Amino acid sequence: MHKTEVDIPPSIRKRLIHLFGLIEKEFESVCQENVVLQEKVESLTEKVNEKYLTTEQFQVNSKQKPPTGQKLKTADKLKAQTSKIVSSFKSPSAANCQFVKEYGGHRDGLWDLALPHTGQPVIGTCSADHTARIWCIETGTPLLQYTGHMGSINSIKFHPNKDLVLTSSGDQTIHIWQAAVNLDNLRDRESDDTETEDDRVVPILRTPSCTFLGHNGPVMASDWLLGGDQIITASWDRTANLYDVETSELLNSLTGHDEELTYASSHHSQKLVVTASRDTTFRLWDFREAINSVSVFQGHTDTVTCAVFTSAGLGGEDKLVSGSDDRSIKVWELRNMRSPITTIRAESGVNRFAIASNGVIAIPHDNRQVMLYDMTGQRVNRIPRTARNRHRRMVTAVAWSEDNSFANLFSCGFDRLALGWSVQLCKD
């Protein structure tokens, strides 16, 4: 028996929209209070650092005799407590992070962004406004707008070696479309900050090259398999589908998750796929043999929002990294995944993170921050937050660029913006 959709009366719909608006305002207020509190903590930390250093210097340079008895014990206890507080905030290694460019023009929040593997100086974004865009990285100019979907576009991926883009949508479909753009004369032309969205003439593409059907719920993510001849998709209908790109044929429907899927990604050099779900698990699917196998991992206590394989050659061993709404990121060895080798504790829910070839993990959070950690769990830095150049709502996704010297890290969020950053790691 099929379920029938019920039309919501206009009066009730209007009331719901009003209530959702109130919830959104309350959420904005709470987030702003959190930002203010975080800044106060950082200010106090700096003062503690200064006081601790002053105390150390006094003990080295003072000609007075050290205190004795109870006073000595009190001083040592205070020093130990101060040292503990300082060490909990200190960053063991550092990176110089600077804001570079803003990419604005979407009319609703951004869900995802991606960069081509060919080194072309462009970035792709997708939004809840039902569109995806290709931008020139250096000028911030929109080069192409794709409007073929009828619902929110939830993920975007460039083909491994062709000018093709893969997008998945809330309209239950997955599209492949042509992303060839003209970059001539754009490098010497900076975007006019006074130019409005209505002033810009952005080429529009409305028709996909290929459409994939078969899901019964919003498609949250998709990715190209090795070589780009197949794709994997993840949907709220609790399935992940494997499709042939040339024929659009559904090759396999992967079932087993107990709740909605949130993400799917493939290995860079092998036919391995990982899917993440709201059921707190992620699954590793192996397509290297004729008989497919699957392994289930239960390392998280809340929705697994993202799971990706590390870049080729990183540390000599293949790894898989998972992130969750339980405020943790876990690093796993593919050869032995009985338990994570590293667990990173975050201050907020983790969204779609990205791993650079040098092993630095950029982690976007619900609390508007982007934190940088290495594979051992050591904090490297965070993306700076200033009054002007920062995300004002949750950061949904990040992406690294290995080929662009202008900016090498990009972030996007529900403030309708994508931001470009220059991150230079400090060498020991």
Q: What is the pLDDT of residue 83?
A: 39
- Residue 122's DSSP bridge partners are 136
Q: What is the pLDDT of residue 410?
A: 98
Task: Tell me how many degrees the CA angle 208-114-153 measures, rounded to the nearest 5.
Answer: 50
pTM for the model: 0.77
Looking at 196-351, which runs of residues are DSSP E strands? 204-205, 210-212, 219-224, 230-235, 240-244, 250-254, 261-266, 272-277, 282-286, 293-297, 304-309, 319-324, 328-333, 342-345
Residues of the chain with pLDDT under 50: 1-5, 46, 48-92, 187-192
Q: What is the pLDDT of residue 385?
A: 80
Two tokens at 106?
């979407």
Q: Report yes or no: 52 and 86 within 8 Å, Cβ to Cβ.
A: yes
Q: Alpha carbon of 324 to those of 273, 302, 304, 328: distances in Å?
A: 18, 6, 4, 6
Q: What is the pLDDT of residue 2?
A: 45
Q: What is the pLDDT of residue 391?
A: 94
Q: What is the pLDDT of residue 41?
A: 63
How far apart are the C-alpha atoms of 310 and 229, rounded to whole Å?
21
Three-class SS of residue 78? Answer: helix
Q: What is the pLDDT of residue 313?
A: 58
Q: What is the pLDDT of residue 61?
A: 39
Three-class SS of residue 255? Answer: coil
- Residue 274's DSSP bridge partners are 265, 284
Question: How many residues are there in the chain?
Answer: 428
Three-class SS of residue 60? Answer: helix
> Minimal CA–CA distance to 168: which of 229, 223, 96?
223
